[in-house]
Amino acid sequence: MSVERLVSIIAPCRNERAHIDAFCADALAQQLPAGWRLELCIADGSSDDGTRERLVALAAAEPRLRWIDNPGRIVSTGLNRALAAARGEVIVRMDIHTAYAADYVAQCLAALAQTGADNVGGPWRAEPAPGAGPMAQAVAAAFQSAWVAGGAASRRLAHAGWVDTVYLGCWPRATFERFGGFDETLVRNQDDEHNLRIRRGGGRIWQSPLIRSRYRPRGTLRQVFSQWFQYGYWKPFVIVKHRQPASLRHLVPAAFVGLLALSAVLAGLGGAVWPLLALVTAYAGAVFALSATVAVSAQLPLAVAARVPAVIAAYHLGYGLGSWPGWLDALRRRPGRSRFGALTR
């Protein structure tokens, strides 16, 4: 008699009452290959909007669902709590604000079996919510451009191959036994740090376009700026810990903001104004060129295309401005500031 193999889906959450039912239904409806069964472990970060009560009710009606308390309230502690409770030989991470193809987990299992990778995942596909306005559509369109993200392979929907990081992730349990869990000092970028640790330890990461999901990005310019400011702030902690960046693209926004600030100071002190004008002009040209590429490739209507330049600038400048206080704290070995870890949705 054959014994079914177990795959565990883990997900951290906090104050997701409006989305938790749809997420659980999506995760539990996954179509698995023969011989596999799943469990869903959700780590709740002390929600106070009714999410906790809803999880209790859902778990009472569905034996495959378990919820775990996450008093740390951040993603990294939630992932580790869920990981400790998970019993599967394969671990699949999911995000509450993402919708998944019915064969998402099955394709993860297939990619692990075919490649022998230590982590597999799919591309990061952004789609606005149905009925979203022009700004939310512009945010999603700009997000999907690999060049807006510095050439990141995770934004290339057709890319298949070895990469430095993937969206979310799926691991054999042996990966965590070999490389450890998630760094709980990091409010953001804990996935990038874990993937960097895997690669530095000799592990490999594979991206498959067959692993399909749809991420709902932030819908306003302020939310986008705040989100990427936080990503920029926490990235130096990863770089200082490992004494190397996961990719050189992570250094470019901070370098640009630094040059921009230095040029502005020199101009204000009576120095030459042309370096500042040259930087601003070159960046504006690059932003509008990227915007045109995004608008044409996504066939955006004018009302959406007109908002793309502001969105691209929010991504870049938010990340670059956030990096500088991050470098200041990381190099002085100070713990990350809690105000840069607040939820941005």
What residue spans define the domains of the chain? Answer: 5-218, 241-340
Percent of the chain with pLDDT strictly greater than 90: 70
pTM for the full predicted model: 0.86
In this prediction, residue 344 carries a pLDDT of: 45
Residue where the block lists tokens 């709740």 = 44
H or E segment at 115?
A: helix 104-115
pLDDT tens, position by position, 125-141: 988 888 889 999 999 99
pLDDT of residue 272: 81
User: Average pLDDT, whole number, for the chain?
Assistant: 91
Per-residue pLDDT of 249-290, as tens digits, reads 778 888 999 999 999 988 888 778 888 999 999 999 999 999
Instruction: Evaluate whether 186 touches 336 at the Cβ level (below 8 Å).
Output: yes
Q: Which of 23-27, 198-202, 214-218, 266-270 has the lowest mean pLDDT?
A: 266-270
- Residue pair 41/123 in contact by the 8 Å Cβ criterion: no
Residue 21 — pLDDT band, cuts 50, 70, 90? Answer: very high
Secondary structure of residue 280 in the 3-state scheme: helix
- With 50 as the cut, is the pLDDT of residue 189 above it? yes
DSSP at 154 = G
The model's confidence at residue 342, banded by pLDDT at 50, 70 and 90, is low
Query: What is the chain's Cα-based Rg?
Result: 21
Q: What is the DSSP letter of 335?
A: P
pLDDT tens digits for range 81-99: 999 999 999 999 999 989 9
Distance from C-alpha of 7 to C-alpha of 148, rounded to nearest angstrom? 35
Q: For 299, how many CA atoms within 13 A lie in the half-sphere containing its CB?
A: 0
What are 89's two structure tokens?
Answer: 């030989």
Give the list of residues 6+ apart from residue 35 with CB closer than 8 angstroms, or none: 2, 4, 5
pLDDT of residue 247: 67
Can you name the CATH fold of 5-218? Answer: Spore Coat Polysaccharide Biosynthesis Protein SpsA; Chain A (3.90.550)
Average pLDDT of 202-217? 94
DSSP output for 176-245:
HHHH----TT-SS-HHHHHHHHHHHTT--EEE-TTS-EEE----SHHHHHHHHHHHHHHHHHHHHHHTS-
The region of weakest confidence among 73-77, 100-104, 115-119, 153-157 is 153-157
pLDDT score of 169: 96
Which whole number is the average pLDDT over 320-329? 93
